[in-house]
Amino acid sequence: LHRTERASFKAGALAQATAVAAGEFIAIFDADFQPPPTFLRHTMPYFIADNNMGMIQTRWGHLNDQTSPLTAAQAIAMDKHFMIEQTVRHRADFYPKFNGTAGIWRRSCVEDAGGWRDDTVCEDLCLSTRAILKGWDFQFLPDVVTPGELPASMSAYKNQQARWAKGSMQCLIKFGKDILTDTQHSLLARVYALLTMSGYLAHPFLITLILCQIPLILLGYPLSPKLMAFSIAGLGQPVLFLLSQQLIYADWRKRLRHFPTLMLISLGIGPAVTRALLQIIFKRHHAFIRTPKGQENVLNLKQEKRKLEGYRLPFDNIIMVEIGLALYAAAGLILAFLNGIWGPVFLLTFAILGYSFVVYLSLKE
């Protein structure tokens, strides 16, 4: 099936394909995903056993997680999301969701929930939320792995994260009231759903915190040391990253060497994500920008670059913002040293490294 125009982006493609598909069950895979031969054997029994089962999601594996520090770092983040977060939210019925690929839907569930819609750029989260609000059941299978490719370039990764941030915010705006008033789920489940949809707001909050450091230093950093106690909450995420690697890989210790890279890029993509969120808030036009993926089976790096040459994202001016934030953090760090104020040293050093690393990878491409 080849579309003559890109109407409604991925949602439009899925809607058109669903219309011509003959079966009651619709498996969905992005082009870079390679489902195992036993995929249907492992997923279909859940539909047969439960007529209210609307969707089965399998765990994403990785085809190129060891090709670069960037893809290895992304793999850690994805593993935590699927092995920990998805497992918990499905088992606890905390608004489970479809991840856009490597899953299978019951057609009647898709139709009952209103089909694929293009009013968000995260059509998967949009349909999932509508189906859950309609009372359908979902199932996540962590032991069924469907490998796919991770974005191989920093520009592609920033594009992917910005799109996910946009879609999450759009769904929060669209479904926030419905989730709050949903009597089928507990208050804890509803709060969890709203927090996950708003999770990307951490990026503008962190940028704001970094920008506050120089004024605070000039004021003598009038913050109580007791406030530092709240930073212990930041240990939660590293523990979950560690746990996910232990649960999946025998060589988990080796893989954790890429954890610092993950921390740097997680901070460094903040400007790109913040811009995406502002575009939603100010209702700027939003288009579905497809994420270029790396290619694993190439002879060498030069050959890979030639293959990707025709499909690269254009230069993004957000790099100038990243450079500006790195310089601002450096100025703050110097000012802190000159005034003998040590409270902001770790944050500012982390900011310098994170923004500089993302700028370096972006310009290197």
Q: How many C-beta atoms surround the C-beta of residue 285 within 10 A?
A: 5
Tokens of 343: 């409270």
Position 130 in a domain: yes
Tokens of 321: 């913002």
pLDDT (tens place) for every residue of the chain, 365 residues total:
777 777 778 999 999 999 999 999 999 999 999 999 999 999 999 999 999 999 999 999 999 999 999 999 999 999 999 999 999 999 999 999 999 999 999 999 999 999 999 999 999 999 999 999 999 999 999 999 999 999 999 999 999 999 999 999 999 999 999 999 999 999 999 999 999 999 999 999 999 999 999 999 999 998 876 776 777 777 899 999 999 999 999 999 999 999 999 999 999 999 999 999 999 988 875 555 666 666 544 334 445 555 555 555 567 899 999 999 999 999 999 999 999 999 999 999 999 999 999 999 999 98
Position 65 in a domain: yes
Q: List, as one string, the DSSP characters of 187-249.
A: HHHHHHHHHHHTGGGHHHHHHHHHHTHHHHHHTT----GGGGGGGGGGGHHHHHHHHHHHHH-
- What's the CATH number where 140 sits? 3.90.550.10
Position 104 in a domain: yes
3-class secondary structure, 54? strand
Position 235 in a domain: no
Position 312 in a domain: no
- Using one digit for the tens of pLDDT, what is the confidence trace for 45-67? 999 999 999 999 999 999 999 99
Domain that holds residue 186: 9-149+173-195
Position 73 in a domain: yes
Residue 26 Cα to chain centre, angstroms: 24
Position 178 in a domain: yes
Position 202 in a domain: no
Helices (H), 50-201: 69-80, 87-91, 107-112, 123-133, 154-180, 187-197
pTM beyond 0.75 = yes
- Using one digit for the tens of pLDDT, what is the confidence trace for 227-266? 767 777 778 999 999 999 999 999 999 999 999 999 999 9
How many domains does the structure of the chain reveal? Answer: 1
